[in-house]
Structure formats: structure tokens, C-alpha cells
Amino acid sequence: MNKQILYSSRLLILVIALFLTMSAAKGQKIKSETVVYEDTLGMDIFTPLTKNANKPVLIYVHGGGFSGGKRDDAQHLDFCKRYAAEGWVTATISYHLTMKDQSFSCDQPVQNKINTMFVAAQNIHQSVAYLLKRKNELGIDPSKIVLAGSSAGAEAVLHAVYWDKTYEGILPEGFKYGGMISMAGALLDERWVTSESAVPSLFYHGTCDNLVPYDNAAHHYCSADQTGFMMLYGSYSLAMKLKELDKVYYLVTDCGGGHEWASKPIEEKYRKHMDLFLEWIVRREGSIQGHTILSEGTNQCDYNDFGFCKVE
């Protein structure tokens, strides 16, 4: 099964425009630099060497359970270089690993988990504040700043976008992200997603993810009597909320897929949805709402099938 549902009056035009734009943009020269944006937190920035003063921005936030992972792994750097060569200012950031040498599972008190997400979201805002201070030098468009995250990074990105308290004292009043990409992420409260707060969103998730739920379920599927029991709203929940609000969203579901969807989307073979989404961010023409269902996963997940993989 490989079913695709698209709702966009200008989809064909957008695909053709995407092809032409990418063909023309590939091979742009870029410069790279490594900076400290807050405390000891590093950021690798890749900037196209063009005179365009309205460049979109793509920030990548790595995964690792808030205890590990590195911003400058080769695949993260390649991801950023790839889009920088197509005209984006890109960056991969470090953030405070408050769970280092600790579990982030069912034995970790819920409040510690929540605090961890809060701090990581603040770190993302701090990296953006740093870039905004250099917006003229870098030639960036503050209205087209897109966050992309994997696993813990996706949770950090979602909470950066939708948890309003994380903005306080860091970003200008009224600031709003231009878009977000969540790879196997989830949010604490879907009520934070409103017509006013919604941003264009691309989601990737496997239905058999046993760490971060595809829909509404407990983090790591902890039982209610465990200290780490915490409900989360995964990609399906959030995509359907955006659909209900008639906002831009796209969901890629892998039936039987697991937590590997935290990293698969940055591989070249899975980039087509991301390319289309990012090109829409730049052009803002028409609308994108849709759902692609894949059947690449081989996992058995009787505990969290959710019933969303039936052929209609």
C-alpha cells in the first residue's frame, strides 16, 4: 500500500516550480561558521553566498532522548549544506542535555520531563534570537524561519512553536515561526494548537513508534501507575487538529513503522515531501493539506495500532 491524498489547487504548478527552482539553485556556493549562541551552546551556520536579502532559514534540532546526540554529526551537516546550496540559511544547533546520564523513560518523574522540554524549547528560541541579531548581515527573512527536529529534537521544536511561555524574554513580542517539520515528535497539549498559533507543519511518524506515540497516548507507553506516566499528542493528533482548523499541514504515515522515522526523513530518498513543503514556505502559493500512507514498516504493534492503516 502506498496511498497519497493531496489537497492543493496549485499542486502541479508548485511541483513544476519546485523542480525548476531546485535545478537552478543547486551548486550555490556557501560559507560555514561555528558560533556559540548562548552559554556554551554551539551552532553551525551555513549561508548561501548570494545577495538575496530575504533568505528563508531552516534550523535542525537533533535527537537523542535529551541525553545525547550531536549537532555536528555528518548527516546533520550534510542536511544543512544541502538546503544551504538551494538558497536557505541553515543551522544545526546544540541544546542543553538536561537528561544526560539519566533515563527519559517511565522511571523519570513527569515534571522533570516537562522541564527538559521547556529548556530545550528555550534554547531553540535563543538560537533564533542570535540569528535575528544578525539578520541584515545574513540576509534572512524573519517571517520564514522553519524549525526541523528529530525525536527529542522534534519534541523540542513542537514545544518551541506551541508553548507560549517558552518565548518570554527571548523573542520579540508577536514573533511567529514560518513553519515546522516534526520527525517522530509529540506535544504535551493539543489545545495549544489554535487558529492563532498554528504554523505550516510537516509530520513524519510510524504507527508502531514505541517511544513517541503516533496519536494520543502515553510517552514510552508508560502505565498510569508509573512515575513517568505522561500523555502526549503525536503527529496524527496534531495533523488532524490543523486539518480541523483548515491550516497548512502534511502528514507522512508509515504503517508498521517504528521510531526510525526520527531520522529517515533527512535521508535523500525521503526528501520529496520536505522539498515540496519547504518550497511552499518560500512561495506561499495555494495551499497544502494531505496525508501520504506508506507501508514500509515491519513492526508488530498490537498495543498502538490506532486503526489508521486500513485501506479506504
pLDDT category at 310 given cuts 50, 70, 90 is: low
How is residue 211 annotated by DSSP? S
Q: For 76-120, how does the pLDDT look when each residue is reduced to its tens digit (9 = 90+)?
A: 999 999 999 999 999 999 999 999 999 999 999 999 999 999 999
What was the pLDDT predicted at 95? 98
What was the pLDDT predicted at 286? 82
pLDDT category at 182 given cuts 50, 70, 90 is: very high
What was the pLDDT predicted at 235? 97
What was the pLDDT predicted at 16? 36
Nearest to 94 by CA among 82, 77, 113: 77
Q: For 205-241, how does the pLDDT look when each residue is reduced to its tens digit (9 = 90+)?
A: 999 999 999 999 999 999 999 999 999 999 999 999 9
Q: What is the pTM of this model?
A: 0.89
Place of cell 519547504: 278
The percent of the chain in helix, strand and coil, each rounded to the nearest 5, is: 35, 25, 40
Three cell numbers at 260? 526510525
| Domain boundaries, given as residue ranges, for the chain | 3-294
Q: For 192-211, how does the pLDDT look when each residue is reduced to its tens digit (9 = 90+)?
A: 999 999 999 999 999 999 99
| CATH class assigned to 3-294 | alpha beta
Query: Does pLDDT of 4 surpass 80?
Result: no
Cα(34)–Cα(44) distance, rounded to whole angstroms?
Answer: 4
Other CB atoms within 10 Å distance of the CB of residue 67: 15
Q: For 118-148, how does the pLDDT look when each residue is reduced to its tens digit (9 = 90+)?
A: 999 999 999 999 999 999 999 999 999 999 9
CB neighbour list of residue 302: distance below 8 Å, 6 or more residues apart:
none
Q: Which residue has the higher pLDDT, 307 or 52?
A: 52
pLDDT category at 185 given cuts 50, 70, 90 is: very high
Rama region for 69: left / alpha / beta (φ>0; ψ in -120 to 50; rest): left
Query: Does pLDDT of 273 surpass 90?
Result: yes
Secondary structure string (H, E, C) spanning 241-274:
HHHHCCCCEEEEEECCCCHHHHCHHHCHHHCHHH
Cα(307)–Cα(154) distance, rounded to whole angstroms?
Answer: 24
Exposure letters 139-153 (e unless 16+ CB within 10 A, then b): bbbbebbbbbbbbbb
Cα(282)–Cα(226) distance, rounded to whole angstroms?
Answer: 45
> What number is the average pLDDT over the span 180-202?
98
Query: Does pLDDT of 189 surpass 80?
Result: yes
Backbone angles phi, psi at 81, to 5 degrees: -65, -35
* Cβ proximity of 30 and 45 under 8 Å: no
**Pairing mode, if any, of strands 249-254 and 289-294?**
parallel
Place of cell 560559507: 31
CB neighbour list of residue 20: distance below 8 Å, 6 or more residues apart:
none
Q: How many Å is the Cα radius of gyration of the chain?
A: 18
- Beta-bridge partner residues of 203: 182, 251
pLDDT category at 166 given cuts 50, 70, 90 is: very high
What was the pLDDT predicted at 277? 96
Backbone angles phi, psi at 286, to 5 degrees: 65, -150
Q: Which residue has the higher pLDDT, 286 or 312?
A: 286
Q: How many alpha carbons fall within 13 Å on the CB side of residue 307?
A: 1
Complete DSSP assignment for 79-107: HHHHHHTTT-EEEEE----TTTTS--STT
Complete DSSP assignment for 136-174: HHHTEEEEEEEEEEETHHHHHHHHHHH-GGGGTTTS-TT
Q: For a pLDDT cut of 70, what percent of the chain falls above it?
A: 88
Q: For 148-158, how does the pLDDT look when each residue is reduced to its tens digit (9 = 90+)?
A: 999 999 999 99
**Pairing mode, if any, of strands 41-48 and 30-38?**
antiparallel
Lowest mean pLDDT among 6-20, 35-49, 159-173, 278-292: 6-20
